[in-house]
């Protein structure tokens, strides 16, 4: 028996990470695929839990060998999803969750057309700006750049099989649970 592959995408601030974490807590047969990156671990991050931390040389070697379902260079750091990791989980019947950007989702969908794509949307750009500002992680100019990037990302929501508007967390989570069941 083979598991299914689910891809969740959406702009920063839409709530996809929080929704995915809650979804994983409530779903016994759903496993998060841990991505690879060349960036340094942040405090508290553990290799193999948040990411597989690879040297740039190792990442590029694996990329050149075709090991990644998807990969991207983001702000000078490489990120990617190893195909062997996903296939190993699916081969034993586990459903696999990828939390990646829309570009990665498109790359994966080309290789695994049966993947179910879900796009998380904020209720509005104003609400997205409010959420990003309330995080107090970024300066105002960075928030503005993130909102502009989100507008571009949101134009790709229609490429997904399902769109979930995260205007109420519990309602959005219930909608996700319906999709994943």
| pLDDT for the residue 172 | 97
Contacts of 153 (CB under 8 A, 6+ apart): 9, 10, 11, 101, 102
| pLDDT for the residue 116 | 97
Residue 136: pLDDT over 70? no
Instruction: Name all contacts of 172-178 with Cβ < 8 Å and 24+ positions apart.
Output: 172/15, 172/19, 172/120, 173/19, 173/22, 173/23, 173/26, 176/8, 176/19, 176/23, 176/118, 177/23, 177/26, 177/27
Q: What is the share, in percent, of the chain residues with pLDDT greater than 90? A: 74
Average pLDDT of the chain, as a whole number: 92
Report residue 41: phi and psi, to 5°. Answer: -65, 145
Residues 61-77, mean pLDDT to the nearest whole number: 93
| pLDDT for the residue 99 | 93
Fold annotation for 5-180: Rossmann fold (3.40.50)
Residues 19-44, mean pLDDT to the nearest whole number: 94
Q: Which residue has the higher pLDDT, 147 or 136?
A: 147
Write down the residue that tokens 């319906």 correspond to: 178
pTM of the model: 0.89
Residues 10-31, mean pLDDT to the nearest whole number: 92
Whether the Cβ atoms of residue 32 and residue 20 lie closer than 8 Å to each other: yes
Q: What is the pLDDT of residues 122-133, one digit of tens each?
A: 999 888 888 888
Residue 179 CA to residue 176 CA, distance in Å, equals 5
């Amino acid at each position: 028996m083979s598991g299914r592959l689910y891809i969740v995408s959406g702009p920063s601030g839409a709530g996809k990470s929080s929704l995915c974490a809650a979804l994983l807590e409530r779903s016994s047969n759903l496993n998060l695929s841990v991505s690879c990156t060349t960036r340094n671990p942040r405090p508290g991050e553990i290799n193999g839990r948040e990411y597989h931390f690879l040297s740039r040389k190792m990442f590029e070697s694996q990329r050149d060998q075709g090991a990644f379902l998807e990969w991207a260079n983001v702000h000078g750091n490489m990120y990617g999803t190893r195909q062997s990791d996903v296939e190993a989980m699916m081969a034993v019947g586990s459903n696999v969750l990828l939390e990646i950007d829309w570009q990665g989702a498109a790359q994966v969908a080309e290789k695994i057309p049966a993947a179910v794509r879900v796009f998380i949307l904020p209720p509005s750009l104003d609400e997205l700006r409010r959420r990003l500002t309330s995080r107090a992680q970024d300066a105002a100019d960075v928030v503005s750049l993130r909102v502009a990037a989100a507008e571009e990302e949101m134009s790709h929501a229609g490429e997904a099989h399902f769109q979930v508007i995260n205007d109420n967390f519990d309602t959005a989570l219930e909608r996700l649970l319906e999709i994943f069941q």
